[in-house]
């Protein structure tokens, strides 16, 4: 019914059915995984009015017990979804429908799909760090370039007491660059396409 895909690995279609409406994929060596795709195989649709909540579980670094986090959902109308798991924080789990799961291994995570009503899915709030960025690559490039420029310029910072007069150079206060950078970030947050105007 479900498949799970991680870049550089074979597609997994061998979900373990742990309850009549719960399915789990084991994800070995999860520390090296950035994104995971969960999809329907197309062989068995969800019953009418139902969908699948997608969860990610990894071992708690202290207790070793599984910590589950809601990533999002799939439905007959949206039969696949990609989730970013590299930004998830250990130990920050929440309510989940899987009950007590058997301990697998410290290097094995699990992706779970719980069949639930569409009404239940609409009320659930996934962890925000699992959402894949919708910012286009030019904006990402611009952001990284500005971060790099600010960090580079800041590495030459010195106090006025450390400065020696040099009539051939012009000094720009770092506060001026920081103010411009913060203004740029604010404008990006308000309207990601402002640079196209």
Q: Is the pLDDT of residue 192 over 70?
A: no
DSSP conformation class of 28? E
**Residue 131 to residue 114: CA distance in whole angstroms:** 19
Sign of CA dihedral 63, 98, 29, 137: negative
Q: Is the pLDDT of residue 22 over 90?
A: yes
Give the pLDDT score at 45: 94
Comparison of pLDDT for 133 and 80, the residue scoring more: 80
Summarised one tens digit per residue, pLDDT across range 92-120 is 666 677 766 555 677 788 899 999 999 99
Give the pLDDT score at 11: 94
Give the pLDDT score at 135: 56
Give the pLDDT score at 196: 58
Q: What is the largest CA-CA distance in the chain?
A: 78
**Residue 116 to residue 105: CA distance in whole angstroms:** 28
Give the pLDDT score at 55: 92
Note the pTM of the prediction, 2 decimals: 0.64
Helix ranges, the chain (H): 118-123, 137-154, 174-190
**Residue 37 to residue 58: CA distance in whole angstroms:** 16
Q: What band does 131 get if pLDDT is binned at 50, 70 and 90?
A: low
Q: Which range, of 9-23, 66-80, 162-176, averages the lowest pLDDT? A: 162-176
Q: Is the pLDDT of residue 40 over 80?
A: yes
């Amino acid at each position: 019914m479900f498949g799970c895909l991680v870049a550089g690995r074979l597609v997994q279609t061998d979900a373990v059915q742990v309850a009549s409406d719960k399915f789990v994929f084991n994800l070995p060596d999860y520390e090296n995984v950035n994104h995971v795709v969960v999809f329907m195989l197309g062989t068995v649709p969800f019953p009418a009015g139902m969908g699948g909540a997608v969860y990610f579980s990894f071992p708690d670094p202290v207790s070793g017990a599984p910590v589950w986090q809601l990533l999002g959902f799939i439905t007959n109308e949206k039969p696949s979804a990609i989730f970013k798991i590299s930004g998830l924080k250990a130990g920050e789990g929440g309510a989940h429908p899987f009950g007590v799961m058997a301990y697998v291994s410290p290097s094995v995570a699990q992706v779970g799909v719980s069949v639930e009503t569409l009404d239940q899915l609409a009320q659930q709030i996934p962890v925000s760090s699992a959402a894949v960025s919708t910012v286009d690559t030019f904006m990402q490039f611009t952001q990284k370039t500005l971060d790099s420029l600010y960090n580079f310029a800041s590495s030459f910072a010195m106090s006025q007491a450390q400065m020696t007069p040099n009539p051939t150079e012009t000094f720009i206060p770092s506060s001026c660059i920081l103010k411009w950078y913060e203004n740029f970030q604010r404008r990006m947050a308000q309207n990601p396409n402002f640079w196209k105007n």
